[in-house]
Amino acid sequence: MSDYPNLREIPTSDETVFHGKLIDVSHMMVTLPDGREALREIVHHNGAAAVVPVDDDGNVYLVRQHRVVIDLMTVEIPAGKLDFVGENPYDCANRELEEETGLRASSMELLTHVLTTPGFCTEKIGLYLATGLTQHDVHLDADEFINVVVMPLEEAVAKVMSGEFRDAKTALGLLMAWQKLRC
C-alpha cells in the first residue's frame, strides 16, 4: 500500500450493523487522502471456491440453476461458499465439485483468486481447474436444485465471448482454464 500513499483511505471506525447467516454488513468510517471523512458500507463474506472441471475429452461440467436474486436461469461452474472462516478454498472446491456434479478430480490446480466486488464486498473466490475426473454420486444441499450441463470447453468459451454466460466467476474460470489447457 505504500506505493500510492496519496490514494490510501485510512479506516477510523468499523461497526457491524447487520449479522446474517451468509454475510455481515458494517459501516466503516474512513479518512480520505485529502483529510475529509467518508462512510463505506461493507459486506463481509467468508469467501468461496469455484471449479472448472474438464474431462479427458475436453468437455466441461457446468450447473444450470435459477438465481432468484436476479430472476435468471444461469449456467455456471460448480461453486460454493466456504463453510467457516479459515476453511481452505481447495477443500471447498473438492467438496462442491462432488456435491454438485458427482465428480472427483485427481488433480485440482489453483487458477487464481478473484475479488468479486472489491468496492464494497470482502468476498474472494478461489478458482480451480479440475482434471482426471471420475464419476461418483451427487450430494446436493437440501436447498439446491440444479442440472448438470456438459459441453465442449471451446463451446463454453464461445458462450462467454458472446455474452450468453454472464456470471463473472464462470467467465474468468472458463477463459483461464481454456488458456491453460491450450498451452
Give me the amino acid identity at 17.
V
Spatial separation of the C-alpha atoms in residues 80 and 89, rounded to whole Å: 10
Would you kindly state where each structural domain of the chain is located, as residue ranges? 5-45, 48-182
pLDDT at 64 over 60: yes
121: Cβ contacts below 8 Å, ≥ 6 apart: 42, 43, 44, 45
Give the pLDDT confidence of 145-176 residue by residue, as tens digits: 999 999 999 999 999 999 999 999 999 999 99
DSSP state, residue 5: G
Residues pairing with 39 in the sheet: 29
For the segment 93-100, the average pLDDT, to the nearest whole number, is: 96
pLDDT at 1 over 60: no
Give the pLDDT confidence of 111-143 residue by residue, as tens digits: 999 999 999 999 999 999 999 999 998 887 788
18: Cβ contacts below 8 Å, ≥ 6 apart: 24, 25
H or E element at residue 96: helix 89-101
* CATH dotted code for 48-182: 3.90.79.10
Helix 168-182 and helix 153-162: axis angle, to 10°?
A: 130
Question: What confidence score (pLDDT) does residue 5 get?
Answer: 81
DSSP state, residue 106: E
C-alpha cell, 126: 478461489
Question: What confidence score (pLDDT) does residue 43 get?
Answer: 98
Give whole-number Cα distances, 83 to 42, 75, 89, 114, 157, in Å.
Answer: 20, 23, 10, 18, 30
The residue that leads in pLDDT, 84 or 124, is 124
